[in-house]
Amino acid sequence: MMLEGINLQAMRGERSLFERLSFQIKAGECLFVQGENGSGKTSLLRVIAGLTAPSAGTVLWKECPIQQLGEEYRRELLYCGHLSGLKDELSAIENLIAGAQLADDPVSNCTAREALRRSGLQGKEDLLVRFLSQGQKRRVSLARLLLQPRALWILDEPLAALDARAAHWLAGVIDAHLDSGGAAVITSHQDMALAGTPHVIRIGV
pLDDT tens column, 118-144: 999 999 999 999 999 999 999 999 999
Q: Is this model's pTM higher than 0.85 or not?
A: yes
Which DSSP category does 60 fall into? E
Cα separation, 121 vs 159, in Å, equals 16
Assess whether 99 and 162 both reside in one domain. Answer: no
- The reported pLDDT for the residue numbered 205 is 61
Range of the domain at 60: 1-76+156-205
Neighbours of 98 (CB within 10 A): 14
Assess whether 58 and 11 both reside in one domain. Answer: yes
Q: Which of 109, 130, 149 is the last residue of a domain?
A: 149
Task: Output the average pLDDT for the chain.
Answer: 94
In a domain, 58, yes or no: yes
In a domain, 82, yes or no: no
pLDDT tens column, 41-83: 999 999 999 999 999 999 999 999 999 999 999 999 999 988 8
Assess whether 2 and 72 both reside in one domain. Answer: yes
Q: Shortest CA distance to 79 belongs to which of 105, 120, 42?
A: 42
